[in-house]
């Protein structure tokens, strides 16, 4: 695996690969890699000649400076895992490579509209502008044929789709399913910041989502959401939000017509660690006459 730190170098290397006709896949990450990240590498390897992974803890997407300071860094292990997974190129830039003109918010902002006003957008002001800044720059540098991102960050997938249309990128987006621990907890770099007791309680998020999936019926959703909220409370999880939205545009629903494809989304604190997860509902869509 080549480890490349300079944007110009990785750009030149990949341009050369593309000119030889190599199809390239790109997996952007913030490191502290786990099996979820590696499943994206695997998906890229199965469909591309060259797989590029980036590790960059992007300062502009952290609305909470403490979250940025405490973000786990496990570079040596990440390199080991990527080598083992057969990744071809690791792009490992310094902040100055991604933000040659500094990290101040770019003007004008990316026009994300409604998407930026709800859920993560509401609770993490500026977060998606930071995501767009880094993804815009990474896409310019890497120019992949295929981009691999995780459904775990559901709203982020929608934001990135919108960004690609704003910047006119032709890259194909591949959204990969969420990998979970055996007890259902979605794999996340942040899980390693949980104490063993917190780690056990954190399964409440998956339990609440599973409860919604099992209990959902057409009609009013408030009792269902109340029941899910109680599951979180019982596990000492403090939610920022627990919502059900239209899976295609994330408009939030108080009622379900039994037909629209929907997604349940949760963000909750376990101690000082903020966790997010989601589930597309109902899994058995055919049951509802679609």
Catalogue the active-site residues: 37
> 19: burial class by Cβ within 10 Å (0-12, 13-18, 19+)?
exposed
The nearest distance, CB 32 to ligand AMP, in angstroms, is 7
Among 29, 48, 155, 203, binds ligand AMP (CB under 6 A): 29
Distance (Å, rounded) from C-alpha 71 to C-alpha 33?
12
Exactly one of 39, 54, 155, 191 binds ligand AMP (CB under 6 A); which one? Answer: 39
Query: Interacting stretch for ligand AMP, rule CB under 6 A, among 35-43, 192-200, 224-232, 233-241?
Result: 35-43
Least distance (Å) between residue 214 CB and ligand AMP: 22
Q: Does 81 bind ligand AMP (CB under 6 A)?
A: no
Residues 103-122 that bind ligand AMP (CB under 6 A): none
Q: Does 178 bind ligand AMP (CB under 6 A)?
A: yes
Q: Which 3 state secondary structure label does DSSP give 87?
A: coil
Q: Which is nearer to ligand AMP, 119 or 187 (by Cβ)?
A: 187
Taking CB under 6 A as the criterion, which residues in 132-171 touch ligand AMP?
A: 149-150, 152-153
258-288 in b/e form (b: 16+ CB < 10 A) is eebebbbbbbbebeebbbbbbbebbeeeeeb
Total binding residues toward ligand AMP, as defined by CB under 6 A: 17
Q: Residue 75 is encoded by which pair of tokens? A: 């570079």
Provide the Cα torsion 239, 241, 246, 251; round to 10°.
180
* CB closer to ligand AMP, 179 vs 253: 179
Beta-strand (E) ranges in 177-251?
219-220, 238-246
Nearer to ligand AMP, 184 or 258 (CB): 184
Strands 262-270 and 273-281: antiparallel
Taking CB under 6 A as the criterion, the residue among 40, 50, 202, 205 binding ligand AMP is 40
Smaller CB separation from ligand AMP, 53 or 221:
53
Residue 25 is a binding residue for ligand AMP (CB under 6 A): no
Report the residue from 4, 10, 30, 268 that binds ligand AMP according to the rule CB under 6 A: 30
Using CB atoms within 10 Å of the CB of residue 68, give its burial: 0 to 12 exposed, 13 to 18 middle, 19+ buried.
Answer: middle
Q: Is residue 191 close enough to count as binding ligand AMP by CB under 6 A?
A: no
What is the CB neighbour count within 10 angstroms for residue 27?
30
Task: List the structure tokens of 98.
Answer: 């991604």
Q: Which of 46, 19, 37 is nearest to 143 (CA)?
A: 19
Binding site for ligand AMP (CB under 6 A): 29-30, 36-37, 39-40, 149-150, 152-153, 176, 178-179, 186-189
């Amino acid at each position: 695996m080549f480890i490349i730190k300079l944007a110009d170098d990785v750009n030149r290397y990949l341009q050369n690969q593309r000119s030889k006709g190599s199809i390239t896949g790109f997996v952007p990450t913030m490191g502290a890699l786990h099996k979820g990240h590696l499943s994206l590498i695997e998906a890229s390897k199965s469909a591309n000649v060259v797989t590029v992974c980036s590790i960059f803890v992007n300062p502009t997407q952290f609305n909470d400076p403490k979250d940025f300071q405490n973000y786990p860094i496990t570079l040596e292990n990440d390199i080991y895992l990527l080598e083992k997974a057969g990744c071809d190129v690791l792009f490992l830039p310094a902040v100055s490579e991604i933000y040659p003109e500094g990290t101040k918010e770019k003007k004008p902002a990316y026009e994300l509209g409604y998407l930026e006003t709800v859920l993560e957008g509401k609770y993490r002001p500026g977060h998606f502008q930071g995501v767009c800044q880094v993804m815009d720059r990474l896409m310019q540098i890497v120019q992949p044929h295929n981009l691999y991102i995780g459904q775990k960050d559901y709203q982020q997938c929608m934001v990135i789709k919108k960004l690609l249309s704003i910047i006119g990128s032709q890259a194909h987006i591949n959204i990969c399913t969420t990998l979970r621990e055996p007890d259902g907890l979605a794999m996340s770099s942040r899980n390693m910041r949980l104490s063993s007791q917190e780690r056990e309680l954190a399964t409440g998020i998956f339990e609440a989502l599973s409860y919604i999936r099992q209990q959902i019926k057409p009609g009013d959703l408030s009792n269902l959401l109340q029941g899910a909220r109680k599951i979180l409370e019982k596990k000492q999880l403090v939610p920022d939000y627990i919502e059900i939205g239209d899976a295609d545009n994330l408009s939030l629903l108080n009622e379900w017509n039994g037909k629209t494809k929907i997604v349940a989304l949760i963000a909750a604190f376990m101690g000082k660690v903020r966790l997010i997860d989601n589930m597309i509902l109902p899994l058995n869509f055919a049951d509802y006459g679609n």
